[in-house]
Chain A
């Protein structure tokens, strides 16, 4: 990628007591890109983000934000942050909170623009404590974007949002990216990473185990996904040619397989009563699950 590097981890390690939360983690963030940081719970995602916000200091190696120490206020003026927790005081209004945070930045958005982007225009005078869970999350997002940051850091931004809210959040995020904002996000919804990210970084036990485009990661694992109901047993399915893996999901089977065109007639011959068959491209979720298993 030819775009300039705006932030980087360089062999950054972080030890909490006996636990090595991050192990020589190196990664560059380029201007304008969307980087999704994925990994199981406790893999080190939040620690990696913590180094970039300056809230956590590396035990060894280092982290750079706009070429500076992330703890320096000049570096932080180029970044907006939305953490997993971070409830503002209940008694201040939406507008008061946004106005206060906007003042921290050199060239903030006008208040009305920030509120509109976070879909809070109607709620400007509402106190934080009187907002619904989704509205509270939107305010936290508003605080992250009010300063027109060049880099936006969002830690599980859509956890707890319904599907519609999540989609509209994606739309706002795409709008920001179109204006040149770089985004680093962690998420448990791999569909989200697939929809938004230019690159996916997969962390496992504090180490970077994969870094690529969602497409490349999906094709690295390969195959397609077949879902159906059948009376066949797991072992007999696994013996069929081209089958990579078999998983039982309630009353359904989930097969990962290559050369589906050759497999299908055999499958249907083996179980003429096979029902509810769907064939889909490999999901990022499956690919990630496989990569994590490989790395473990």
Chain B
């Protein structure tokens, strides 16, 4: 009997796929999570990008804000879904039970990243539809594809930040920490209005924030020649590695007391 259990292995691909799908469904069915993450960015975009069109220099706000609110929207599920979700599941003992089960531990974390990327795809499609239908935004197909790819993959550094927050904070504190980080960082990074409109010292501060670099990449994908996309990409990779390393250290400490 024990030899059987060793000889036959369950399908890893199936575990990762089902884990990811259910991680997505799990948060999609939670209205307190799904409604704000899907509808708030759309509402802000509609308000500032479509209804109150003040031109930002020569740039059409409907086009410009599609990129930056798209980035703002992609960060939400990564921070709330991954960060807060992880903190809660640790506190409830759910992660402990999963770790005691024969689940490959990587599947748990990979599924949360997949969830955040799926959500980012949803918000990108929502904002993109609004931009085309109501904002008369026109982009080449290649630009649409590039912007979508940037917004979906751009969720990854914020998953790493979520992983770090979730590894350090208790569930209730994690909600507060994410709220303290998410909105201020988005505004200071120029996702709500261009950094150029800020006083100079705030303009200097922005590149310290990962969301600023996400915004630069999204804007460039959407056809705006702003900032340096190459260094923005490097900065995001650096933030991702840094957050992940700190989070792994925190996880290791938590699980080997």
Contacts and interface: CB of A to CB of B under 8 A. Distances in A.
Interface of A: 6, 16, 53-57, 66, 73-74, 76-79, 81, 83-92, 96, 99-101, 103-107, 127, 140, 143, 147, 150, 180
Contacts of B100: 53-55, 76, 79, 81, 83
A86 to B, nearest CB: 4
Contacts of B29: 91-92, 127
B255 interface: yes
A90 B96 CA distance: 17
A73 B99 contact: no
Interface residues of B, number: 35
B22 A147 contact: no
25 contacts: A53-B99, A55-B96, A55-B100, A55-B255, A57-B256, A76-B101, A77-B6, A77-B10, A85-B92, A86-B93, A86-B94, A88-B97, A89-B26, A89-B89, A92-B29, A100-B18, A100-B19, A103-B10, A103-B18, A104-B10, A105-B10, A106-B4, A106-B10, A143-B97, A150-B2
Interface string B80-97: 000000000100111011
A129 B9 CA distance: 32
What is the predominant secondary structure among interface residues of chain B facing chain A? helix
Interface in B6-42: 6-11, 14-15, 18-19, 22, 25-27, 29-30
A16 B257 contact: yes
B58 interface: no
A106 B5 CA distance: 6
A85 B93 contact: yes
B102 A92 contact: no
Nearest to B27: A91
B55 to A, nearest CB: 43
A150 B99 CA distance: 18
A81 B97 CA distance: 7
A104 B106 CA distance: 13
A77 B5 contact: yes
Contacts of B92: 85-87
B1 interface: yes
B222 to A, nearest CB: 34
B119 to A, nearest CB: 15
Contacts of B19: 100
